Structures are given as C-alpha cells and as structure tokens.
Amino acid sequence: MANDHYQRACAFNIIQIGEYIGRLSDEFKDQYPDIAWNSLKAMRNIHAHDYENVIEHLVWETMKVELPELKEYLEKLL
C-alpha cells in the first residue's frame, strides 16, 4: 500500500469498524463465534493508539480478504 491517502483511508475504516464492534453486546458476539471480534478490535486499537506498529501487509490482507468475507457473512444475517 504505497499510497499514503489509501493507507489513511484503510486505517480510518478499520478504526470505525473496531468502534462499532466495541458497541456490540457480548451476548450478540457470542452468537456469532465465527467472526474474529477480538482480532478486529485489536487491529482498531493498533491503528488508533500504536500506529508505528501497523504491519502493512496485514492491513492489506484485512481490507482485501477479511472485511469482504465479514461483509458477506453479515449480509446473510440480515
């Protein structure tokens, strides 16, 4: 991810997703153990508080693979 604007946009989206996950009840998250709630929240925390330790290829993997899979999974729930 060479483009700085793209990196910032990805980071912002990851932070937003983590914020929303933090608002979900434990009961709700327990109903869907297939979702890596803690990992997504941890990635948010790294982007928000420990940015120098962001591993770019993991961000790329999250944006290209994990988030589309999460979106598809959640859409099936609706």
Annotation says 49 is catalytic? yes
Annotation says 8 is catalytic? no
Among 23, 44, 47, 57, the active-site one is 44
SS3 state of residue 67: helix
Q: Which two tokens stand for residue 50?
A: 């420990």
Among 5, 8, 47, 49, the active-site one is 49
> In the block, which residue shows the tokens 């608002």?
23
- Residue 65 has a CB neighbour count (10 Å cut-off) of 10
The residues assigned a catalytic role are 44, 49
